[in-house]
Amino acid sequence: MNIKQPGEKKLERFYETFHGANINIQYLLTVDISRGYLHKSLSTTMEFIVESDKADLLERPVSPEMVIFYLTQDTQRHPLLPELKSGGFRVIGKMSTQCCLSDPIVGELTVEASAVPICSIDMHLLRVESILLGEKIVTEQSLIQTTQIADGDVCRNMTLPIYVILPRLLTCPTVLAGPFSIEFKVAIVITFQSDVAKVHSKSDPTTPRLWLAMESLPLELVRTR
């Protein structure tokens, strides 16, 4: 369904449909039917999914912008297990940080060295929602989905592909509006084998822990032709 008819003047901007943790952008149509005094009225509500008009979209970039990242014991800002701090580890990778919503997030990473065996490597897709409340900006980060890149102690110097499909409705083009903003980022998390980790198996995967190495990258989402 076209909200704007051909030749019609540009209307107020419609943001794309988004179902977040604290911010929801929804377009609803409600129909009420009154059936007289002795009959119960009927009512139903339907949601319309709104996406940007193709005529207003940017051209698809020739190649995605790739950012190189490193994970070592020296890049971590939180305490690590003594054996991790002394033995060390090094993981290098690259990933696209500007991504079309219809395309997957792509990249690769390589474990060059690790003194402690690896349990798993995961990539967390996060939403960052901000709301203007009075004179303050309230920001909250929450998890959208987790994609496992590797399971177990992976071979050293072997390139592992990153391929993450973006979920519909839970993501939208990055929004930087006046009263609110919707941004996204990804967190590469390496979990090392540790007896301490087994005790806290149900802990938040995005919270820094002794047995985790983490690297966060901003992610700009766009919709293109």
Q: Taking the CA of residue 95 as centre, how many other CA atoms within 13 Å lie in the half-sphere pointing to its CB?
A: 26
Residue 201 or residue 71, greater confidence: 71
What the block records as the tokens of 197 is: 């980790």
Name the residue ranges covered by the structural domains of the chain: 66-222
Banded pLDDT at 70 (limits 50, 70, 90): very high
pLDDT at residue number 224: 80
What the block records as the tokens of 208 is: 């820094």
Banded pLDDT at 197 (limits 50, 70, 90): confident
Q: What average pLDDT does the segment 175-185 reach? A: 92
Q: Does the pLDDT at position 4 exceed 80?
A: no
Please name the residues in contact with 195: beta carbons below 8 A apart, sequence gap of 6 or more.
none
Residue 158 or residue 57, greater confidence: 158
Q: Which of 26-30, 187-191, 193-197 is predicted least confidently?
A: 193-197
**Using CB atoms within 10 A of its CB, is residue 209 exposed (0-12), middle (13-18) or buried (19+)?**
buried
Q: What average pLDDT does the segment 37-54 reach? A: 86
Task: Supply the mean pLDDT for the chain.
Answer: 88
Reported pTM: 0.85
Q: Does the pLDDT at position 12 exceed 90?
A: no
* C-beta separation of 129 from 139 below 8 A: yes
What the block records as the tokens of 1 is: 């369904």
* Cα separation, 190 vs 70, whole angstroms: 12
One of 3.30.450.20, 2.60.40.640, 1.20.810.10, 2.60.40.10 is the CATH number of 66-222, namely 2.60.40.640
Residue 170 or residue 13, greater confidence: 170
* Cα separation, 111 vs 88, whole angstroms: 12
Which amino acid would we find at residue 219? L
What the block records as the tokens of 63 is: 């190649």
CA torsion sign for 18, 19, 23, 26 is positive
Q: Does the pLDDT at position 170 exceed 70?
A: yes
Q: Which of 56-60, 70-74, 190-194 is predicted least confidently?
A: 56-60
Cβ-based neighbour number of residue 109 at 10 Å:
25
Sheet holding 66-72, edge to edge: 66-72, 89-96, 105-114, 159-164
Q: Which of 11-25, 26-40, 61-75, 192-206 is predicted least confidently?
A: 192-206
* Cα separation, 53 vs 223, whole angstroms: 10
* Cα separation, 214 vs 144, whole angstroms: 17
Most confident segment among 83-87, 133-137, 183-187, 207-211: 183-187
pLDDT at residue number 30: 94
